[in-house]
Amino acid sequence: MSLVTAAAMLSGIVLAPLLSGIINRTKALFAGRRGAPFLQPYHDLARLLRKHGVFSGTTTWIFRIAPVSVLACVLAAMVLAAPAGINRTWGFEGDLILFAYLLGLARFLTVSAALDTGSSFEGMGASREVLYSALAEPALLMGLAVLARVSGAMSLAGIYDGLGSTEWTSAGTAIPLVLVSFLIVLLAENSRIPFDDPNTHLELTMVHEVMVLDVSGPDFAAIGYGASLKLWLFGSLAVRLALTPSGLTGWAMLLAFIGGMMVLAVLVGIVESVTARLSLLRAPLLLAGAGALSVLAFVLASRFLG
């Protein structure tokens, strides 16, 4: 493993919480407030790690193992995906499927832990989470399938390596469409506006936050850190794809990528500031739309690449 590969993984592991700091700062700017420091998420994690845990008498071992197991899944996905696009030979054929299913396992554990509390609010959040992800998954995998077709590769690293400025222009608008689809999936999978409002204070309307109402202390730190890693992962899918025409690799790519992630965080902050949350019934339609975009991208790619 080369140094830059390790740096790619570490940058994700270290910088992931910074994204929510940037998002919140952006939102504060739009709201005319000064906002919390960029490093606030790190302070929050450190504080949670020092606390005691409180456990409901209803819960079982599922509730206790879930938070750190979720973190293990997301970290594994990070190891798998972070060096792709920076190290050409990283990964293996089909690693994109493992990537998606590792996040699936994380979701399975989160949802099970939510149902373990027996709370109807957490059940509600869990129910919405599985609905959104059942629709986001096809959009994500069909998007990746289109990229596999355009690049002729079956691994994440191969896909980024096989896409260059020529593919961007020759495949019609297929790649930008996939990029939009990925951004929609990112917002849905990470419980951002317009799918979920991370700042709401009404349990009835939340999705992700309500699932973890009963988690506390270090377990809650694991959940929070896992969530920021997940945001980093989905962000990296989109940012890497957007950077493919640059043709950069290695350290230059890593720096450009980290810069891109910061821009993405600002973008998410702007989306959260200027749009309202969709009604729960409308959100699935947006996700179905993301899937439709992927299919459209496939049609375009097939038409232009022949």
Nearer to other proteins, 4 or 100 (CB): 100
Question: Given the complex with other proteins, which of 34 and 279 has the nearer CB atom?
Answer: 279
Shortest approach of other proteins to residue 277 CB, angstroms? 16
Name 206's Cβ contacts closer than 8 Å, sequence gap at least 6: 125, 196, 197, 200
Question: Smallest gap, in angstroms, from Cβ of residue 212 to other proteins?
Answer: 11
Minimum CB distance to other proteins, residue 187 (Å):
17
DSSP letter at 197 equals -
Least distance CB 8 / other proteins (angstroms): 17
Min separation Cβ 28 and other proteins, Å: 27
Considering only residues 194-213, where is the footprint of other proteins by CB under 8 A? Answer: 203, 213
> Which DSSP state fits 143?
H
Angstrom CA distances, 62 to 1, 67, 108, 115, stand at 35, 9, 11, 10
Among 8, 9, 81, 136, binds other proteins (CB under 8 A): 136
Tokens of 58: 């209803």
């739009």: which residue's tokens?
30
Site string for other proteins, 40-69 (x = CB under 8 A): ---------x-xxxxxxxxxxxx--x-xxx
Task: Choose between 122 and 272: whose C-beta lies nearer to other proteins.
Answer: 122
Q: Look at residues 240, 252, 224, 203 and name the one whose alpha carbon lies nearest to residue 21.
A: 224
Taking the C-alpha atoms of residue 102 and residue 92, their distance in angstroms, rounded to an integer, is 15
Rounded least distance, CB 35 to other proteins, Å: 28
Q: Which of 11, 117, 190, 191 binds other proteins (CB under 8 A)?
A: 117
Q: What is the Cα Rg of the chain in Å?
A: 19
- With respect to other proteins, which residue has the nearer C-beta, 49 or 252? 49
Q: Which of residues 97-116 bind other proteins (CB under 8 A)?
A: 97-98, 100-102, 104-105, 107-108, 111-112, 114-116
* Of the candidate residues 28, 45, 145, 266, the single one contacting other proteins (CB under 8 A): 145
Name which of 91, 100, 93 is nearest 73 in CA terms: 100
Query: Per rule CB under 8 A, is residue 220 in the interface with other proteins?
Result: no
- In whole angstroms, the minimum distance from the beta carbon of 52 to other proteins comes to 5
Q: Figure out which of the listed residues 35, 123, 245, 250 binds other proteins, where binding follows CB under 8 A.
A: 123
Four-point Cα dihedral 99, 102, 103, 105, nearest 10: 160
Determine the interface stretch with other proteins among 2-10, 172-180, 251-259, 288-296 (rule: CB under 8 A). Answer: 288-296
User: What letter would DSSP give residue 287?
Assistant: H
**DSSP conformational letter for 161:** H
Tokens in use for 250? 């290695």
Cα–Cα distance for residue pair 36/48, rounded to 1 Å: 17
Minimum Å gap between C-beta 5 and other proteins is 15
